[in-house]
Amino acid sequence: MVKQLAIRNLKRSIQDYRIYLFTFTFSITIVYLFQSLVNQQTSIALSQNQLGLMNTILRALEGVNIFVVIAFSALLAGANGFLLKRRQQEFAIYYALGMKQHQVAQLLALETFGTGVIALILGIILGVAISQIMILMTAQLFQTTVINYQFLFSWIAILKTSVYFLIIIIGIFLLNYWQLKRYRITSLLKNKQKTYELKRVLQQRLVLEWSGATLLILSGYFFLQSTWFSKYFFVSIIVSLCMILTCIWLNITSVKLVFQLLIRSKYHYLKQLRFVTIRTSWQQINEHLWSIVGMSLLIVSAWSILTLSFSYRHTSEAVIQTIAPYDATIVFHSYESDKVASPVDLLLEKGVDVKALGDITMTNIYTTETTLNDLLAEYNMANASLYTFFDHGAPSFLRVITYDDYVNIAQLLGIEPIRTRGHEVLFLTNMDDMLPVFEDYLQTHETIDIDGQRYGIREDGYIKLGIENEDFSRQMLIAVVPEREAKWPQYTTVLNVMYDQKKSMQAEQLLDEMYQTLINFDEKQNQYDTQYGSFSVLTKQHVSEQVIGETALVVYIGMYSSIIILLACATLLSLHQLTFVIERKSEYQTLLDIGSSKKQMYQQLKKQMIVYFIVPVLLAFPQVLAILWLMVKLALEIEAGSTMISLAVSTGIIILIIGGYCIVSIQSGWRMFMKQK
């Protein structure tokens, strides 16, 4: 009996509560997909480095997963609780018919696990299917190819996903059982009818509130722009927080104002059933105003994260060129400041003929006793991203190279070197943020003192150029001095290599072997150690793999978390709407009774749902634009062009998810209405 009832209920809930099953299935699919990344490793061509990065990604995702599982449990338990509430009366009847507590529990268990298992099967099938496509994306992200294409099917991923969701299902069951036990039969049988009271808000007050909020945000923005920002860091934080709160306030008043204005426009208002749509939507939105604004903020974060993670990928190419301009850099750190032996000769002894690799330059780096703070103290707070590079505690000393070495480097890269006049110094940096600093500094200074020696400088005497490969930009300032032989101590010699076209493969392979040996700390006997000093090596390939790997990490985690946020929001919106349909079915019925056609009714339901789904998205959009605009403005590594493309892609994803849920909600809602009337 209980079994039959459970099966019947199961069939019904699958039809009626598609949203619940949808969310359940999709969440399983997503968790499976990211679990199955483990398997994708074997099918794509990944270097040793990339494999390491892939493992970092997987570990990071593992951490995200715990958060995801918790979020999904809450979401699904909430959704299921909603369905249960709808069925209060049904359960009351079961009790009234003499069903025992344990039988009701059994029924609930069968239903919960039944739905869970169906969702698990559907979700994993969908996951397996999508992972076949996702591997292409992974390969693309790592900028490599699929070498060994095979049907991807990961038992481990299935097992892990199943365990996660079994825990969730058990949690849902316990929660709902507890919820059901709390109901008293009498209250179960009572059908509460909500009464709606609409507060009228004065339009003038709304306009005032709205302009006030806008003004506050704008003035907050200009405050942060001003020099005050750098001087009172704490105040700025408080101002930023206030701006976020004001944003929420602005959101709320905007919604109110728009609806008030719509209601005021009498002529258009009374066309067809428009006024019913507007009034009813307003009613629904007003009732959930806070949660809608909350959701719009969540959508803002998902939307921005998606966009930024996509444009991160677009900018990586330019980044690599900036931080690793050479095919390879070999650095010799000598133990003594006096030059005892040539690094080229030392390398030759170790079996590495650098000169045979291609064109090379040798650059001596001297360390002065002047610190960066001595020179640039006034810019210490100019830019939040530079702040960390200035010396705090430990002084960072200015490093210099000779003009001859600079000319060699420029020629190696095929750039025209800047000519200097007389006793002049040039500034080099590989940090974009430093360029405006130099521009300002060189306009306001005519000379510069380095360890008591005075040099001339001129307005255009700076250039963006890295003197060695690095895995991120950190050459704030390298000064090029006019001396032939500098008098400062010199511990570091940099060998920059541009491979010979014909031998680039072998060269890369050779240096990669050297790199692998050097970064392997376990190996005590480092074959590249000499009695005079030690070597390090970094090829462009290494840097590029590193950057691409980081990009993949950012894109994956961004996609993962934002899609989950979106699923959660869409599900909540759906559940709100379906609750409304059920609560107000008698009002819809009235519409039918007084002569509106079924088609009009369907249109009505559809419009209301669309409005409800669209409002948080519309609220989110200007905020997303503002965030992106700020990002493009503040972070120089994000450029407007690629951000626009990414914005289009992420908008597509948002429309797909929210729109999909909207369509399913319309269908479910209509079905519920037609069945329950």
Partner 1 sequence: MSEILQVKQLEKYYGKNGVLTKALDDVTFSVERGEFVSIMGPSGSGKTTLLNCIATFDRMSAGDILIEGASLANMSASQAETFRRDQLGFVFQEFQLLTTLTAFENIALALTIQGVKEPNVTKRIMTIAERLDIVGILDKFPSQLSGGQKQRVAAARALVTNPVLILADEPTGALDSKSANQLLETLKYTHEQDQTAILLVTHDALAASYSDRVIFIKDGQFFNELYRGKENRNEFFQRIMEILIVLGGQNG
Residue ranges in contact with partner 1 by CB under 8 A = 195-198, 266-267, 270-273, 275-276, 279-280, 282-283, 586-587, 590-591, 593-598, 600
Which C-beta is closer to partner 1: that of 233 or that of 269?
Answer: 269
Structure tokens at 468: 């060695």
> Least Å distance between CB 618 and partner 1?
21
Residue from 669, 674, 643 nearest 311 by CA:
643
Give which of 448, 397, 451, 398 is closest to 423, Cα–Cα: 448
In the complex, the smallest distance separating the C-beta of residue 613 from partner 1, rounded to whole angstroms, is 19
From first CA to last CA, the distance across the chain in angstroms is 28
Shortest Cβ distance from residue 181 to partner 1 (Å)?
A: 32
Residue 527 φ/ψ, nearest 5 degrees: -70, -15
The smaller minimum CB distance to partner 1, of residues 196 and 629, is found at: 196
397-402/533-539 β-pairing: unpaired
Quickly list DSSP for 282-309.
HHHHHHTHHHHHHHHHHHHHHHHHHHHH
CA nearest neighbour of 161 among 186, 189, 131:
131
Please, what is the minimum distance in Å from the beta carbon of residue 295 to partner 1?
Answer: 22
Angle subtended at Cα 268 by Cα 267 and Cα 272, rounded to the nearest 5 degrees: 110
Closest contact distance (angstroms) between CB of 609 and partner 1 is 15
Smallest gap, in angstroms, from Cβ of residue 201 to partner 1? 14
Residue closer to partner 1 by CB (options 12, 598) is 598
Complete DSSP assignment for 198-229: PPP--HHHHHHHHHHHHHHHHHHHHHHHSTHH
Q: State which residue, 158 or 276, has the beta carbon closest to partner 1.
A: 276
Name which of 284 and 646 has its Cβ closer to partner 1.
284
The C-alpha atoms of residue 663 and residue 669 are separated, in whole angstroms, by: 10
- Least CB distance from residue 207 to partner 1, whole Å? 21
> Two tokens at 586?
């008698």
- Least distance to partner 1, CB of residue 676, Å: 15
Q: Which is nearer to partner 1, 517 or 600 (CB)?
A: 600
CB of 648 to partner 1, least distance (A): 37
Q: Based on CB atoms, which residue is closest to partner 1, 582 or 635?
A: 582
Q: Which is nearer to partner 1, 49 or 608 (CB)?
A: 608
Residues 6+ apart with CB under 8 A from 474: 389, 430, 431
| Strand-pair category, 397-402 with 478-481 | parallel
Distances 603 to 123, 589, 618 between C-alpha atoms, Å: 32, 14, 21
